[in-house]
Structure 1
Amino acid sequence: MLILLCFLLLSNAEFGFRYYFQRVCSNSCGDLQNIHYPFRLKGDPPQCGEKSHELSCEGNRTMLFQPNGTFYVTNISYEEGPFMGMTLIDVGITRSNCSLPSVSLWLKNFTGYNTMLGFSYEYCTFVNCSRKIDDETYRLVPCLSTNSTFIYVTIRYDAASVGVLVQDCRPVVTTAVSDSIPHNEDIFKMLREGFQVMLDYPSVFSVKQCINFAANGAYVVSIIPYPIRFEMNILHCIANNLNFGSREYIIIWVLFVLVDAPILIIAILLLGRLVLAPLCLLVFLVYNISIHLIPIDVVETFLQRQVALSPTRYTYNEIVSITNNFKEKLGQGGFGSVFKGKLPGGYLVAVKILGNFMDNGEDFINEVSTIGTIHHVNIVQLIGFCAEGTNRALIYEYMSNGSLDKYIFTSTTKNRFFNDEKINEIALSVAKGLHYLHQGCEMQILHFDIKPHNVLLDHDFTPKLSDFGLAKLQPKNKSLVSMSLARGTIGYIAPELVSRSFGNVSHKSDVYSFGMLLMDMAGGRRHADMKIEKSSQLYYPSWIYDQLQQTEALGSHVHLEIDDLERKLCKVGLWCIQTRPVDRPSMIRVVEMLEAGVDSIQMPPKPFFCGSESLPVPSSSPSELSVISEC
């Protein structure tokens, strides 16, 4: 507290000095502005300047009165050290264009000042000669000379000494003139340039004098704020002018150290808190904005162009309200989280909050552009969406019974959750929905992620396809699809999506995934579940194919592990998972086979990957494959 009090007192003193000396002591006269300490005008308070440096203002001109002469002041220099002084002109020179100075400088002692002779000035001496002088260092002054008297001027350092003058000449007056002016220049014009005198500094300053010098800007560093400049000036003055080791010297330095050390620490802390911290935050925000700038621009451009979209656009605050602040969570996936919500009219919805994404917004655009305008009993309906900055959400109709996978993978062949009729109905409905995507829309829609998890069931277990994040729109007249990355879920991906050596990517890729879905529904277990003991059963489609062959060969009266429903689904599924896309049926043909009887469906060829070796997959088993070079 003591240090802080000292700091406040000194700060108030500094600003007090500044106000006093600039408002009260600063003065002007004619062309000279801001005359201040150590100079002062006659009539100013004594503390405004030194008595020995008092000036007068007469006739709107600043004047310096000395015991042996009067001078006009044309400029004042406040430079540090011995170069603080004034530029003077002898009043006598200004009386006419040809008049001599009234005072000889070399005979004069300026009270409180030193002349600059010997630095950038030399003596200029006027001499009166009784005869003409033949000497190049002497110049005749015609306006002052007569037939019997010859006035010469000489500019030389020792001209003021009588002993060096030529015979028959005597000095008249000596003054100062710049040694940089050419020798043939008009001498009176040279004299009217003036000469400089400097302050006669005392060898030791008092503390009061140092404070006066510092407060009046005696040591001027204009770019530094005044309080700091005041302190630098006074410390400089004290260090150079007070007696080293004196009591005043020690007290002042100790005081400034005690005050400045805490101030420096506080300044560093404030700099870090007020400057560095906001700067780091700004850099962090700019970095995050730059990451999401392109995705946001892409999505906003897309949404602005889709003026005819039927889904409603919601704000993020409305999403929070619909989900009751995300109270009830329905599920979690790689895309983000799904929450139960309720629209103002009481209509239940499922809100999918998209997580942090590093793509360009393609998945979001796919969802909105594909199912946003689709209305089909077997396609989940998109009711609305949110795209507010980096916050994105999709609002679907609420499917109260969840996804198909939790019903077919938790049951067994002997104890299914659904009866045969319902399983066949679900398979047929999904097939019709997929056929609608391929042929019923204006643009062909390829889903690329058909699997049990993406088949949702409503309150009466009507199946609906969902999750169009990987979907791709394709003109109907274009059979081949251009893709650079494999997309889908391992186990359901068609071979041509892994390597183009198996064929071209088309709507037949969805047919392959649907075939794997049928195999899951038929067996009630995942095709990748490797818990079967027999080695021939390690690949489920291969085991199914062997079972079907035995059934077809021995007849239906032979009791095997596979029933008629499984036979039907598996036959259709095996047709769908043929290795070559051209060998797979279209979805309309799949619908026809599912509506027909099991015995009317021809036994398909054995798929290439139903042998002892299955389709190789990456060891890391990601949910979406990377691009693999074509053969």
Structure 2
Amino acid sequence: MEFSYFLLLFVAFIIDVGECQSNGCAKLPCGARGPVIRFPFRVNSQPEHCGYPGFNLSCTDTNDAVVELPNSVKLFVKRIDYKSQVLQLYDPAHCIPKQLRRLNLSSSPFQFEQDSPEDQTWSSGESSSTGLTDFGFFNCSQREVKFRFIRCLSSQKHQVYAFDKRDDLMDLPLSSCTKMYSLRSIPNTRVLGDDEKNLELKWSRPACVHCEAKGKKCRLKNNSTALETECFLEGALSKLAITGATLGSFLLLLAVFALYRFYTYDKVEKEHQVKIEKFLEDYRNFKPTRYSYVDIKKITNQFSEKLGEGAYGTVFKGKLSHEIYVAVKNLNTSKGNGEEFINEVGTIGTIHHVNVVRLVGFCADGFRRALVYEFLSNNSLEKFISSSDAKNCILNLDKMQDIALGVAKGIEYLHQGCDQRILHFDIKPQNVLLDQNFNPKISDFGLAKLCSKDHSAMSMTTVRGTMGYIAPEVFSRNFGNVSSKADVYSFGILLLEIAKGRKNVDITVENTSQVYFPEWIYNILEQKEDIRIFVEDDGDDKIAKKLATIGLWCIQWNPVDRPFIKDVVKMLEGEGDKLIMPPNPFASAGHVKNNANMPTKRQNLELEVIPESK
């Protein structure tokens, strides 16, 4: 709030400086494409000293500049040539001859700009010595080709022609023409040759031509009563002053902004630190080993070996001893408010399961925070599901089924085996790590939530998880309350990704976002197509079908239709032949069955996002 107030003061100051340097007479075009308006012209809203008497312009609602000439003749300004002192005007109704009838420039500072010699040729081939000619306007009942036809004054019933005083009256068919009026000393061809041409007016006073020739500008002398003008070099000293003022103000603004950011960042971080320290104090009887930041740097050899990077931090390889390796997640303090740190320590710090990654220790040293896990040498399951590199695809579906069963048992432990139910909310292949024997371990509890076992549903303050793995009810209550079934849904997507195997079909990384393969798999199973299109070994056909069927049970849109994770474990441990085909999970989304051999784009679903509670 304070910063916004200062920013407004800064903008006001810059505007003030600009106004002072121009003394209230800044260049003001009416519109982005309009001519620049400066001395001797002025806009009516400017002070009188900004312009010369009789050179007032006004701006229309459509941002056009308008000059009012004697007898209330208003014409639009197209161009102002300050060096030649010529004002170029046009009629928005495209009928300059009609305006000329009322125009009288005898008391105006402007006069007609005379035609150039090449423009002074008239219909008979003669030329005018002055470029200004007297014309008579006649209304004729038949078409005459010898005289100037005035289109904008004519109609279907009569034609209007301009008769030059030098024309031979004998050529005028008096029987069919009647004189309307005369105009004296108007440009010969500039406005009569074409109805849509511009009218050019010239001014002789004030004579600012010599100023323009020197690259200077013209203005009224201060305290002059005779309307005397003077030349000045625009912005020589004032530009230097405004540049200095602007630069100084910008540096001051930058300094204040930096101090403001530092103050707010320091304040927020101290609040987060107090929150974390309070949590650790309450948690001290159960906490893993606490390390200082110096210890963390020593363990990771100054963060020399990077294993990966996520939204909340970077993971480095470390070593506690010659035989014990660890993975150190150095948390990014610029994101979050310490909630991920508390979630990790508070959930996996007190639990131990063969399929849940073990938290060895942590660091909460001032603003620096880190988590120390057991090191798992085979990286994540995602590496073996999505990799197109043949050397990474060393796991057959039988081993993948064991991995899936291990993940399911880990989730079952989180849901049922702890004092409080732990909902992970981010089950995906990247968060399933594999040890040297390819035993799976669930990791990354930054989005986890604790809830009582006595309650089947829980409240949500924000959407959690990774797109593609998030259950529908997390987005919208229209699909039911959020419960442990959200993790079942995510696990179901994981099973389907395992079931689709080594990609003998063209589902590449580039087009994965365009293909909704769960619906494709359902269509294949429902139409009893050969599931072996996903696998290279015929013996894996039954396993692929089993994993796909269980996965489809897990991703039912209605949470009530999904099995609990303990039932999923039983299905994985049982025989695949006994499984029955689940209902179509996509029927409620209005999907139409597609050819089993043709992947299709998933239709966008409009979901009502759960608002955060206050």
TM value normalised by structure 2: 0.52
1:606 aligns with 2:594: no
Structure 2 residue aligned with 1:579: 557
Structure 2 residue aligned with 1:597: 575
Judged with a 3 Å threshold, the aligned counterparts in structure 2 of structure 1 residues 398 and 336 are, in CA distance, closer, same or farther, namely same
Structure 1 residue aligned with 2:330: 353
Judged with a 3 Å threshold, the aligned counterparts in structure 2 of structure 1 residues 559 and 406 are, in CA distance, closer, same or farther, namely closer
Question: Which amino acid is 1:330 matched to?
Answer: L
- The match for 2:340 among 330, 347, 363 is 363
TM-fit CA distance, 1:344? 4.0
Structure 2 residue aligned with 1:500: 477
TM-fit CA distance, 1:310? 3.6
1:13-24 aligned at under 5 Å gives the runs none
Structure 1 residue aligned with 2:280: 303
Judged with a 3 Å threshold, the aligned counterparts in structure 2 of structure 1 residues 334 and 288 are, in CA distance, closer, same or farther, namely same
Structure 1 residue aligned with 2:85: none
TM-superposition CA deviations, 1:46-65 (whole Å, max 9, x none): xxxxxxxxxxxxxxxxxxxx
Structure 2 residue aligned with 1:473: 450
- The match for 1:318 among 276, 295, 299 is 295
The question of whether the paired residues in 2 share the 8 Å contact of 1:490 and 1:617 is answered with no
CA–CA distance in structure 2, aligned partners of residues 345 and 415 of structure 1: 28
1:607-626 aligned at under 5 Å gives the runs 607-608=585-586, 609=589, 611-612=591-592, 614=602, 616=604
The question of whether the paired residues in 2 share the 8 Å contact of 1:409 and 1:524 is answered with no
Question: Which amino acid is 1:585 matched to?
Answer: P
1:406 aligns with 2:383: yes
CA–CA distance in structure 2, aligned partners of residues 425 and 393 of structure 1: 32
1:383 aligns with 2:371: no
Is the partner of 2:361 in helix, strand or coil? Answer: strand
The question of whether the paired residues in 1 share the 8 Å contact of 2:499 and 2:544 is answered with yes
1:417 aligns with 2:405: no
CA–CA distance in structure 1, aligned partners of residues 308 and 361 of structure 2: 19
TM-superposition CA deviations, 1:449-483 (whole Å, max 9, x none): 00000000011111100000000001101111110
CA–CA distance in structure 2, aligned partners of residues 533 and 347 of structure 1: 39
The question of whether the paired residues in 1 share the 8 Å contact of 2:355 and 2:406 is answered with yes
The question of whether the paired residues in 2 share the 8 Å contact of 1:408 and 1:417 is answered with no
Question: Which amino acid is 1:329 matched to?
Answer: K
Judged with a 3 Å threshold, the aligned counterparts in structure 2 of structure 1 residues 432 and 341 are, in CA distance, closer, same or farther, namely same
1:500-579 aligned at under 5 Å gives the runs 500-524=477-501, 538-551=515-528, 563-579=541-557
Question: Which amino acid is 1:288 matched to?
Answer: Y
The question of whether the paired residues in 2 share the 8 Å contact of 1:408 and 1:524 is answered with yes
The question of whether the paired residues in 1 share the 8 Å contact of 2:333 and 2:369 is answered with no
Question: Which amino acid is 1:455 matched to?
Answer: V
CA–CA distance in structure 1, aligned partners of residues 302 and 562 of structure 2: 47
- The match for 2:268 among 255, 278, 291 is 291
Structure 1 residue aligned with 2:418: 441
TM-superposition CA deviations, 1:190-240 (whole Å, max 9, x none): xxxxxxxxxxxxxxxxxxxxxxxxxxxxxxxxxxxxxxxxxxxxxxxxxxx
Question: Which amino acid is 2:365 matched to?
Answer: E
Structure 2 residue aligned with 1:93: none
Structure 2 residue aligned with 1:394: 371
1:450 aligns with 2:433: no
CA–CA distance in structure 2, aligned partners of residues 398 and 589 of structure 1: 31
Structure 1 residue aligned with 2:566: 588
Is the partner of 1:394 in helix, strand or coil? Answer: strand
Judged with a 3 Å threshold, the aligned counterparts in structure 2 of structure 1 residues 414 and 318 are, in CA distance, closer, same or farther, namely closer
Q: How many residues align?
A: 345
CA–CA distance in structure 1, aligned partners of residues 292 and 261 of structure 2: 25
CA–CA distance in structure 2, aligned partners of residues 277 and 605 of structure 1: 61
Question: Structure 2: any 5+ residue segments left out of the alignment?
Answer: 1-252, 536-540, 593-600
Per residue, is there more helix in 1 or in 2? 1
Judged with a 3 Å threshold, the aligned counterparts in structure 2 of structure 1 residues 492 and 413 are, in CA distance, closer, same or farther, namely farther
Question: Structure 1: any 5+ residue segments left out of the alignment?
Answer: 1-275, 620-624
1:334 aligns with 2:311: yes
What is the aligned-residue RMSD (CA, Å)? 3.6
Question: Which amino acid is 1:388 matched to?
Answer: D
CA–CA distance in structure 1, aligned partners of residues 419 and 544 of structure 2: 35
Question: Which amino acid is 1:591 matched to?
Answer: V
The question of whether the paired residues in 2 share the 8 Å contact of 1:315 and 1:388 is answered with yes
Question: Which amino acid is 1:323 matched to?
Answer: T
Judged with a 3 Å threshold, the aligned counterparts in structure 2 of structure 1 residues 559 and 478 are, in CA distance, closer, same or farther, namely closer
Judged with a 3 Å threshold, the aligned counterparts in structure 2 of structure 1 residues 329 and 413 are, in CA distance, closer, same or farther, namely closer
1:459 aligns with 2:436: yes
Question: Which amino acid is 2:480 matched to?
Answer: G
The question of whether the paired residues in 1 share the 8 Å contact of 2:383 and 2:392 is answered with no
- Percent of paired sites with the same residue: 51
Is the partner of 1:350 in helix, strand or coil? Answer: strand
Is the partner of 2:450 in helix, strand or coil? Answer: strand
CA–CA distance in structure 1, aligned partners of residues 256 and 294 of structure 2: 30
Question: Which amino acid is 1:321 matched to?
Answer: K
1:140-151 aligned at under 5 Å gives the runs none
CA–CA distance in structure 1, aligned partners of residues 568 and 308 of structure 2: 31
CA–CA distance in structure 2, aligned partners of residues 426 and 278 of structure 1: 56
TM-fit CA distance, 1:542? 1.2
TM-superposition CA deviations, 1:41-96 (whole Å, max 9, x none): xxxxxxxxxxxxxxxxxxxxxxxxxxxxxxxxxxxxxxxxxxxxxxxxxxxxxxxx
CA–CA distance in structure 1, aligned partners of residues 609 and 282 of structure 2: 31
